Chain A
Amino acid sequence: MISLAGRDILHAWGKFVFTGIGLGLLIGVTLTMAGVYRGMVDDAKVLLDNSSADLWVVQKDTLGPYAESSSVYDDAWRGIRGMPGVARAANVTYLTMQVRLGARDVRAMVTGIAVDGPGTPGWPPHLVAGRQITRGHYEAVADITTGFKLDDSIRIRRNHYTVVGLTRRMVSSSGDPMVFIPLKDAQEAQFLKDNDAVRAQRRRTAANPAFNRPGAPDLLDAVTASQATNPYVNTVLVQIKPGYRPQEVAESIRRWKRLQVYDRVQMEEILVGKLIATSARQIGMFLVILAIVSAAIVAFIIYTLTLGKIREIAVLKLIGTKNRTIAGMILQQALALGAIGFVVGKITATLWAPIFPKYVLLIPRDSASGFVAVMVICVLASLIAIRAALKVDPAEAVGG
C-alpha cells in the first residue's frame, strides 16, 4: 500500500515545508527558552565550581554571599584556617556593579580575591590569556565576555586597574561576567564613598561630643580612621583536607565561630532553588504558553489542510478506504509537520543560541523531551482534523 500522507506531502511540499519552517521557528523559541533556563542553572553551578570551595562561611542567619548580603570580619579566616579538617581558607568579596572602560561600561560581578597565589579558593581556575594577579593592587583578571582585552585600563569606582589576564565561563548566577581584583581593592570599592560624603561624615563625627572629647584628642582621629576602612568580606571560602567530610567540618565551624556554613549541595540548593526559582517559573509559564500556541497552530493547519480535501476524502471513503487509513494519513501528516518543525527548530535554536547575551545551554535531553512533546502535541492536534474527516459522508462524493 502506498503512503497517501507521503504522496500528499510531496504533492504540496512547498506548503508543508513553509508551514514546517513557521512551526519550527516557534519550536526554536521554545527550545531556546528551555536553554535559557539550563543556562541559568549552569551559570549557578559554574559559579560554585569555579570558586574551588567545599564550604562557604557566611554571616549568621543569612543565605550567603549570592542570595543575600553577608558580612564576615576579614580576620575570621585565620581562626577557620586553624580548625581541624580545613586545608585552605580565603576571604572573598562580591559586588555587582558597572565597570567602565573608556566611554562604555559593562555590568560585571567584581570579585575580591586574596592574593595568595593560584589555587586559592575564589581564584579563577584557568586563564585563556595573560596571567593571574600577582600584585596587591590595581590588577584585574576579567571574563572574556566583558569584551575587555589584555592591558586595557578599566575603572572601578575611582581607581583604574590593568587587565592582566582573561578567563572564560566565570559568571555570576545571573550571568554577569566576573572581574577579579585584589581583595583590599575590592573591600575599598565596596565601602568607598565620594569626597563630599566623606567630608560630611567627618563633620558629623567631629560634632559628636562622644567622639570629640576635650581630654582625648586622639579619639576623634581613631574613630575617623575606623570609618575610612572596611574590615568585612562577604564570605570565607574553605577547602577541606582529604579524609574529612564537609558536614563535620561545617558543624565545627558553626559551633565555634558562630557563623553560617553551607556545603556545596546546600549552596546549589540556594542558588537553583531560591535565587533562580522565580525566573524558572517564568520560563516554565512561557514554555506552557508556547506549547499551547504550537498545538493550536498545528491543529489549525492540519484541520485546514483536511477541510481542503473533504471531497477527496469522501471519494476515498466511497471507494472503500478504511477509516483507519484516512485517520493514519492525517496523523502521519501531522507528525511529518511536527518532525519538519522540530528539525528546523533545533537548527535555528543551535544557530541563534550563541548570539544571546546570556548563556543558552541546549542539552540533548531537552531536545529529546522536546521532540517527544512535539510529537504528542501533533497527535493531539490532529484529532480534530481526524474527527472532521471521519464525519465525512461518502455520499457527498455522489451527486445530488
Chain B
Amino acid sequence: MTNGIHIEGLTKRYGEGDTAVDALKGVDMKVAPGEVVGLIGPSGSGKSTLLKCLGAVIEPTAGRMTLGDRVIYDDGWKIRDLRELRRDRIGFVFQAPYLIPFLDVTDNVALLPMLAGVPNAEARRRALELLKALDVDHRAKAMPSQLSGGEQQRVAIARGLVNRPPVILADEPTAPLDSERALAVIRILNDMARQFETAIIVVTHDEKIIPTFRRIYHIRDGRTHEEAGEGRGFE
C-alpha cells in the first residue's frame, strides 16, 4: 500500500510503573485512498487515543504508522514536524464544526492553504471550489454564526479537504444532526473520498450511519478488529 493510512502494532501507554495504563495495545488498521471506514467502540475503549495518534496530536509509545508513502512513527522514531504534517497531510472534521468565528466561510476554508504559504487569492479560489462542490458556495461571505448546523458541518468538511490531505479524521461528524442531514454528510464524505482519493476514518456512535460503512473497525480495550459493513446506500 503506497497511499492512504496504514498502522501496525500501535500502542500507547499513559503513565509509568504501577500506574501505567495501556490505552492502545497493538492496533492494526489500513484505510485505502477513496475509502471511508467507520471506527466504533464504547467509551473508554481507546477511540480518542487512537484518533489523537492518527492525527499526530499525541505520539504513540510504539508501532508504525504511514500516511501515504511517508512514515510518521516507527517504534519510537517520529518525523520532526508534526505541526506541518497536520497542516498538509491530515484533515480534521469534528463533532462540532469549530469554525473560526471571526473569519467568513471562505476564509475559514482558505486559512489552511494560507498557513501553508499559498497566496491568498489562490487559497480562496480553492476554498470556493470546494464550497461549490459541497453546495455551500452561496454562503461564502457569511460568518459561521449565520449558518445552519448542516451548513457549518459542510464548511468544516471543506476545511478538512482543502489541502487535499491523503487522510481525513472525522470525529463524530453527524452527532448533532438529524438522520437526513447525517446521511447527507456521510454521502458528502464518500463523494469527497472518491473524488479526491482521500482515506477517511469516521469515529462514530451514530446508529444511523453505521450501516453505510463498507468496512468497520471495532475497538475495545485498546485493540481493534475489523469487520465488513453493509455499505448501504453508497453502492
Chain A positions near chain B (C-beta within 8 angstroms)? 1-2, 4, 7-8, 10-12, 311-312, 315-322, 325, 393-395, 397-400
- Chain A to chain B: the 6 pairs with minimum beta-carbon distance, closest first: A320-B87, A400-B48, A11-B102, A8-B102, A395-B57, A315-B98
Indicate if the CB atoms of B92 and A397 lie closer than 8 Å. Answer: yes
Which of these, B49, B52, B88, contacts A320 with CB under 8 Å?
Answer: B88
A7 contacts across to B, CB distance below 8 A: 102-103, 107
What distance in Å separates the Cβ of B50 from its nearest Cβ neighbour in chain A? 10
With A1-B120, A398-B48: A325-B115 Cβ-Cβ less than 8 Å: yes
Interface: B233 (CB within 8 A): no
| Bound: A291/B163 CA distance, A | 46
Indicate if the CB atoms of B52 and A319 lie closer than 8 Å. Answer: no
Cβ-closest chain A residue relative to B171: A399
Interface: B84 (CB within 8 A): yes
Indicate if the CB atoms of A398 and B112 lie closer than 8 Å. Answer: no
**11 A/B residue pairs, CB under 8 Å, sorted by A:** A1-B120, A2-B107, A2-B120, A4-B100, A312-B100, A320-B116, A325-B115, A394-B57, A395-B58, A398-B94, A399-B94
B172 contacts across to A, CB distance below 8 A: 399
Knowing that A1-B115, A4-B100, A319-B115 touch, tell me 19 more A-B residue pairs with CB under 8 angstroms: A2-B103, A2-B107, A7-B103, A7-B107, A8-B102, A11-B102, A312-B98, A318-B86, A318-B92, A319-B159, A320-B116, A394-B86, A395-B52, A397-B92, A398-B94, A400-B47, A400-B48, A400-B51, A400-B52
B138 contacts across to A, CB distance below 8 A: none
Indicate if the CB atoms of A1 and B52 lie closer than 8 Å. Answer: no
Interface: B114 (CB within 8 A): yes
B83 contacts across to A, CB distance below 8 A: 317, 320, 322
| Number of interface residues, chain B, beta carbon within 8 A | 34
- Give the one of B48, B112, B115, B116 with max A CB within 10 A: B115
| Bound: A10/B179 CA distance, A | 37
| Bound: A12/B143 CA distance, A | 12
Indicate if the CB atoms of B115 and A320 lie closer than 8 Å. Answer: yes
Which of these, A8, A321, A399, contacts B48 with CB under 8 Å?
Answer: A399
B143 contacts across to A, CB distance below 8 A: 11
| Bound: A8/B100 CA distance, A | 9
| Bound: A318/B115 CA distance, A | 12
| Bound: A11/B159 CA distance, A | 20
Interface: B201 (CB within 8 A): no
A312 contacts across to B, CB distance below 8 A: 98, 100-101
